[in-house]
Amino acid sequence: CKGSCAWKGKASLASGSNPVSSCNAQDQKISDYDAKSACDNGSTYMCSSQSPWAISDSLSYGYAAVHISGGTESSWRCACYELTFTSGAVSGKKMIVQATNTGGDLNSNQFDLAI
């Protein structure tokens, strides 16, 4: 599917900024921000470049679908968050994510990492 941050007018952006990129089925960027999502019988998807990457052994960057309690889609969409993992092999490590999707199927205060 096309991420919700890829639609024009979905977030307040700095002057000269554009929404998050979308790609076609061949992973080529599409310049039409109004192009229909593949989940709605369209031809746009999230790009493979929206995958996480490590900066160090304790910090990585990435993208996520987000649902924050007490907020609205417009308040959390396209924002960045620092996550700290609290269990498992990654306990204590941090990840900074940009919210590029709404996570309509998430419960409150959840992040669905794009991997």
The 10s digit of each residue's pLDDT in 32-71 is 999 999 999 999 999 999 999 999 999 999 999 888 888 7
Rounded average pLDDT over 80-101? 95
pTM for this prediction = 0.82
The 10s digit of each residue's pLDDT in 10-35 is 777 788 888 889 999 999 999 999 99
Q: State whether residue 9 is helix, strand or coil.
A: coil
For 87-96, which contacts have Cβ atoms below 8 Å and span 24 or more sequence positions?
Answer: 92/58, 93/57, 93/58, 93/59, 93/60, 94/58, 94/59, 94/60, 95/52, 95/59, 95/60, 95/61, 95/62, 96/59, 96/60, 96/61, 96/62
pLDDT of residue 64: 93
Instruction: Give me the residues paired with residue 45 across strands.
Output: 23
Check residues 9 and 87 and name the one with the higher pLDDT.
Answer: 87
